[in-house]
């Protein structure tokens, strides 16, 4: 099961790399996996902790709790029993700013961008099918019927 999900994530990233010019500003965009996302989030949380409390530290449990909330928020999933850590908005702002300034995207952003690309392709396919069908109907109208 995990291998299936890993293949679909890899396929999504390959699709993103093929269509980067329509999805992002630079071809040198780095895609962060879960480990890099957690590291970036930990740094952003430590910075927020330093600004609000004085120490550049954060517990692993707080990082995981915040990451769970971030996943739910970015993917528009329902929030069931997901606690919000103090200063989450500041942490989220710092995290987004860090990714933007580093020319990075996390896997959730890639997923959202690829889903937009997929929905656009599906819309184009539906339009093409409609045009084909309408064109086919118009051709039938133009063909004269020969009677004997």
Would you place residue 130 in the very low, low, confident or very high pLDDT band (cuts 50, 70, 90)?
A: very low
List CB contacts of 51: < 8 A, sequence separation 6 or more.
Answer: 90
pLDDT of residue 96: 94
**Residue 27 DSSP symbol:** T
- pTM, two decimals, is 0.68
Number of domains the chain is built from: 1
Does some domain include residue 10?
no
Q: Which residues pair with 106 in a beta bridge?
A: 32
Does some domain include residue 8?
no
Evaluate if residue 38 carries a pLDDT over 70. Answer: yes
- Average the pLDDT over 56-61 and give the result: 89
Evaluate if residue 124 carries a pLDDT over 60. Answer: no
- Write the CA distances from 8 to 1, 5, 66, 85, 120, integer angstroms: 11, 5, 25, 31, 19
Does some domain include residue 92?
yes
The encoded tokens of residue 33 equal 């996996």
Would you place residue 128 in the very low, low, confident or very high pLDDT band (cuts 50, 70, 90)?
A: very low
- Write the CA distances from 68 to 33, 62, 89, 91, 114, integer angstroms: 15, 10, 14, 13, 21
Would you place residue 120 in the very low, low, confident or very high pLDDT band (cuts 50, 70, 90)?
A: low
Give the domain range for residue 52. 28-108
């Amino acid at each position: 099961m995990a291998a299936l999900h890993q293949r679909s994530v890899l396929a999504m990233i390959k699709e993103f790399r093929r269509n980067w010019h329509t999805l992002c500003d630079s071809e040198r965009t780095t895609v962060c996996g879960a480990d890099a996302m957690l590291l970036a989030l930990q740094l952003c949380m430590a910075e927020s902790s330093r600004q609000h409390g004085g120490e550049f530290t954060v517990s692993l449990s707080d990082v995981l709790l915040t990451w769970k909330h971030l996943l739910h928020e970015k993917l528009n999933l329902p929030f069931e029993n997901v606690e919000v850590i103090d200063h989450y908005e500041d942490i989220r702002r710092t995290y987004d700013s860090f990714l933007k300034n580093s020319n990075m995207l996390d896997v959730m952003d890639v997923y959202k961008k690829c889903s937009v690309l997929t929905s656009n392709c599906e819309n184009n396919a539906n339009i093409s099918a409609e045009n084909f069908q309408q064109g086919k109907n118009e051709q039938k109208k133009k063909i004269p019927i020969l009677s004997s």
